[in-house]
A and B are shown apart, each in its own frame.
Chain A
Amino acid sequence: MNRALLLLLSMLLAACASKPRTEAARFNIDPQTCKASIADVAALPVTRVAAYKDRFPKSLRFEKVATCLRSDNGGALPLVLMDLGPPAALEVQVNLIMRSEVVLAAAIDLLDAERRLIRSVPFERFVRRGGAYSGSIFLNEKDADVRYLVLRPDPDAVGGKNESISGVAQTFSAVFVSGGTLYAVNSVTRSEAVLRNWLSEIGDFQVRAVQQ
């Protein structure tokens, strides 16, 4: 009986445990759904904040909010178009958040009001943090023409893998009663782990603009 129970528990645990990922996550596109022109793509607003200490807006899932654009060579490009609002001196901060061994390896394009490309920032310019890659783009006086920001997978980065050594915490909690009193014990221990992230075409991101 005990053996059968143990077997059942092992099977349940094995079903819950996720296998380590072995490759980057791709964005599955149905080319039929692609827009023919960037002019047809709806833009999301970029949240503006007054100070660095202000909270970041809630993260968005690229694969849920992205639009597919048909490229000149007939291919399909997933992208998120964001409206930066009226010209102002801004630091546009982009966070690409690591989740389940996946991080969006994004490049940023800056577009003018006619949605024409002004300049691009490749993924290699992003800085790796503990829980995200982050990048900043400053919009100064000379950038008065910049009106939109595009996030799209960077083909030069997608497919890569990042490994980071980290002390991962495990929390042990227990509650017991002794002498009529309820005691709660909470203990945190750590062990070293290698955290892997695949540079992918999908993932979570945050964008905000800090007024300068």
Chain B
Amino acid sequence: MIRRVFLLTVALLLGACATLPQQGYNREANQHIKKIQVLTMPQANVRLHIPNHIGYSFGLIGTLITEANRNSKETWLQDTAKRAQFNQFQDLQAALTSAMDAKGYELIWPEPLTDSKGVKRDGFELRKKYAPVDADAQLDLGFMYIGYTASAAEKSSPYRPTIELSVRLVSADGKKVLYAEQFRYHNVLDNKEAVILEPAPEHRYPKFEDLEKADLTVIDGLRGAVLDVANAVAQQL
């Protein structure tokens, strides 16, 4: 449990300050790129957090109590996502295929969509190495976070759908980065460098009880967030 809390704290701290070196996409110099191989994505569960919750400031006991409370809420959200048959990878696949098709790109998706064991990733959930692919380029996508977050444990800081997605487009031979960017839907950690997307106002839940009352509707908030992020990615390419 203590190890988990420590890892969680480190992950949230990293998420606050770490930013992927941004690289724009040179559309004109890469006009030959039409068929893109999408690589398998890292596993990412639906999560629920209040970063820097005041409870974490009250020593080990405070941290354990806060974490136990968060854990039960997160379990509820994960169960609700299951009941709604929500699969963020499939949603991203559908939304990105459609948005990229509209721009003249053909995406080739792997089966299954997520990693098998042995794929080494960096702190941005992107691959450390790339192998050649049979396409014009390869697209690496990694959810750093998907779920609900609130800025604080108070009504004026409601729970909102949240996504952090890292994106890297790499040449077919795996040797050259063509585009790199981080997208954040609901900037709960006040990141200064990622592309920021505003959360939908209709999915604003002041208390956890409001999330429970909304039941399956909260998953519509996550679906909308995935759609908005996919459209923003396609817009850049």
Contacts and interface: CB of A to CB of B under 8 A. Distances in A.
Verify that A and B bind, or say they do not. Answer: yes
Contacts of A193: 151
Contacts of B154: 191
A192 B152 contact: yes
Given A140-B26, A192-B156, A192-B158, A129 B196 contact: yes
Binding site secondary structure of chain A: strand
B192 A130 contact: yes
Nearest to B149: A167
Contact of B193 (A52, A129, A136, A189): A129
Given A140-B28, A191-B157, A165 B186 contact: yes
Interface of B: 21-24, 26-29, 51-52, 54, 57, 149-152, 154, 156-158, 160, 180, 184, 186-196, 198-199, 236
Given A189-B152, A190-B151, A191-B151, A53 B21 contact: yes
A29 interface: no
Contacts of B160: 165
Interface string A102-139: 00000000000000000000000001111110101010
A167 B28 contact: no
A136 B151 contact: no
27 contacts: A53-B21, A89-B29, A91-B23, A91-B24, A127-B236, A128-B196, A130-B184, A130-B193, A130-B194, A131-B193, A132-B193, A134-B22, A138-B27, A140-B28, A142-B28, A164-B196, A166-B187, A167-B51, A167-B152, A167-B157, A169-B190, A190-B51, A190-B52, A192-B156, A192-B157, A192-B158, A193-B151
Among all A-B residue pairs, the 3 with the closest Cβ atoms: A131-B192, A136-B24, A167-B151
Contacts, number: 95
Interface of A: 52-53, 89, 91, 93, 127-132, 134, 136, 138, 140, 142, 164-169, 187-193, 212
A93 B24 contact: yes
Binding site secondary structure of chain B: loop
A52 B23 contact: yes
A142 to B, nearest CB: 8
A88 B28 CA distance: 15
Contacts of B184: 130
Contacts of A131: 192-193
Of B23, B188, B190, the most chain A CB neighbours within 10 A belong to: B190
Contact of B22 (A52, A130, A138, A169): A52
Nearest to B192: A131
Contact of A164 (B51, B180, B198): B198
Contacts of B189: 167
Nearest to B158: A192
Contacts of B22: 52, 134
Contacts of A187: 54, 57
B29 A130 contact: no
B210 to A, nearest CB: 15
Given A165-B160, A165-B187, A192-B156, A130 B196 contact: yes
Contact of B195 (A52, A129, A165): A129
A190 B190 CA distance: 10
A128 B235 CA distance: 13
Contacts of B195: 127-129
A53 B193 CA distance: 13
Given A130-B196, A134-B22, A167-B157, A192 B151 contact: yes
A138 B29 contact: yes
B234 to A, nearest CB: 13
A52 B21 CA distance: 7
B75 to A, nearest CB: 23
Contacts of A134: 22
A127 B23 CA distance: 13
Given A130-B192, A190-B52, A165 B152 contact: no
Given A191-B151, A212-B26, A130 B187 contact: yes
